[in-house]
Amino acid sequence: EVQLVESGGGLVQPGASLKLSCVASGFTFSDYWMSWVRQTPGKTMEWIGDIKYDGSYTNYAPSLKNRFTISRDNAKSTLYLQMSNVRSEDTATYYCTRTMMVTCDYWGQGVMVTVSS
Amino acid sequence: DIQMTQSPASLSASLGETISIECRASEDIYSNLAWYQQKSGKSPQLLIYAANRLQDGVPSRFSGSGSGTQYSLKISGMQPEDEGDYFCLQGSKFPLTFGSGTKLEIK
């Protein structure tokens, strides 16, 4: 059974940094591209970016590219999202997803990030 | 970015009714379209990928169709467990973009 478990969310002050993690199980992690997607409290979905199975290539949403970094550790079956200089508009539930045929086939349970002073 | 216009924003259906949800892309997305269901408080579940391919384990009452810029999701015979939010995702061009979602309720 494919499982994706995110962690690392919480309340963070504007301008701070935060690193989210996603531990994968139930499939060969190093065979798949992986993605991060976020959903605002108003339910708007936004694709953040993805990373190649070997970690050698990433794609980002242009609006987030300068502040967000996606990485992975295949030895630990773990995907990361480093967020810097966070803003109130980054308040959202962040999902880790497995990428298959240019879509997201499995999603984690999500982790909430609230940016507020 | 490719804009995905999804309609309707909300829909109320009776049990057994057949409903359709539409997504229109701002340019040709060559059938690189997926549909998701999200139940309250849960993460999205993939229903349809590549416009018309049913994900494993998804009931056959769900179907997808379309090409070019116009796509639709059909539920043939609404069931109580089909209540939730539905949205589309285009995977043709980066950045991937989502439709704004459709809230489906039982009438």
The owner of tokens 């810097």 is: A84
**Tokens, residue A58:** 């990433």
Backbone dihedral angles phi then psi of residue A88, each to the nearest 5 degrees = -60, -35
Tens digit of pLDDT for each residue in A81-106?
999 999 999 999 999 999 988 899 99
Average pLDDT over all residues of chain B: 97
Rounded CA-CA distance A87/B66 in Å is 38
Is the link from the previous residue into B59 a cis peptide, with omega within 30 of 0?
no
What residues of B are in contact with residue A44 (Cβ under 8 Å)?
98, 100-101
- Mutation to test the A interface, candidates B96, B97, B100, most A Cβ within 10 Å: B96
Q: Is there a contact between A107 and A24 (Cβ–Cβ < 8 Å)? A: no
CA angle B52, A95, B6 (to 5 degrees): 40
Rounded CA separation A38/B62 (Å):
25
In tens digits, chain A (117 residues) has pLDDT values of: 999 999 999 999 999 999 999 999 999 999 999 999 999 999 999 999 999 999 999 999 999 999 999 999 999 999 999 999 999 999 999 999 999 888 999 999 999 999 999
| Chain centroid, CA A107 distance in Å | 10
| B91 → closest Cβ in A95, A102, A106 | A102
Among the partner residues A61, A100, A109, nearest to B43 by beta-carbon distance: A109
- Given a cut of 90, is residue B36 above it in pLDDT? yes
The whole-angstrom separation of Cα B55 and Cα A63 is 31
Find the residue in A nearest to B49 (Cα).
A103
The string of pLDDT tens digits covering residues B44-101 is 999 999 999 999 999 999 999 999 999 999 999 999 999 999 999 999 999 999 999 9
pLDDT for B93-104, tens place per residue?
Answer: 999 999 999 999
